[in-house]
Amino acid sequence: MSEDQNISMSDFFTDSQDNLTQKEISDSQNPTVKTCKVCEKELGFLELQARLQYHFDCCTCEHCGNEISKEIMIRWILDKGPRAHSTCHDTFMQAEIAKRPVEITQGMLDYLNSWRLCPDLSRTVEENQSRAEYATRKNVIDMNLEEKYVFLKMMQAATATISVILSNDKASTEVKIRREQADIEREKRSKDLVADAEGTRISQQALIEKKKNKKLLSKQTPDGKLLNDFMKMGMTLEQAKQMLGSAKQKADGNIQ
């Protein structure tokens, strides 16, 4: 690898581990591991004290042999990336793709998927943002100025499209909520109208019944006089009606 490539890579992949979470760093430190994951030889005292899974001297690119950052090494241990510089790995993978026939491996699929920025809902928003930032920097680093400009415009078009889709989704949701609210209010008004109509019907029936009773209790008729006499004896109106009915039936039976 050329000196320029090493300089550009160090600008993007430093040993500061800013792109790694504390969990990733912790997961890469295994005190039970006694042999190097690269050369499979026994680890030294300093590596064991640092809880590393590799020799300091083995922290190298698998393609060019030059030193790589600790961040790249940790990602490789966690099976989240190659043990290589981005440019070296890209060159290697492009050569693999150019072969005929192409051998499809998990590494090939991981490389092709590295451009995909689909969200991982098992992660937080911040973790997805970090992954998108890492993938973008890794893949854009070797572009020339024109390619970076075109890529920027593509990303701007993508974000603008997503904003429009979100706005449409929001508008559709608001319309749906308004419709559901209107349906609820319409149903409530219908129930209120039915309840009002039922109440009016009951009131009208009660008024009619009241008028009937008033007419029935009029002392100008024989039945009215008898009902009044019964009620003076302490009977309710209903009891007086029953008594009057029984008396009439008995009278009709005697006549027959």
Q: Where are the domains of the chain?
A: 3-142, 143-216, 218-256
What pLDDT score does 256 carry?
52
Retrieve residue 101's tokens. Answer: 């026939």
What pLDDT score does 95 carry?
83
What pLDDT score does 14 carry?
37
What pLDDT score does 238 carry?
79
Q: Assess contact for 228 and 219: CB atoms under 8 A.
A: yes
- The predicted model scores a pTM of 0.37
| pLDDT average per 10 residues of sequence, the chain (256 residues) | 37 42 71 86 88 90 90 84 83 79 74 67 83 76 79 83 82 80 83 79 75 62 72 78 75 58
Retrieve residue 57's tokens. Answer: 């001297």
Contacts of 132 (CB under 8 A, 6+ apart): 117
φ, ψ of residue 35 in degrees (nearest 5): -120, 155
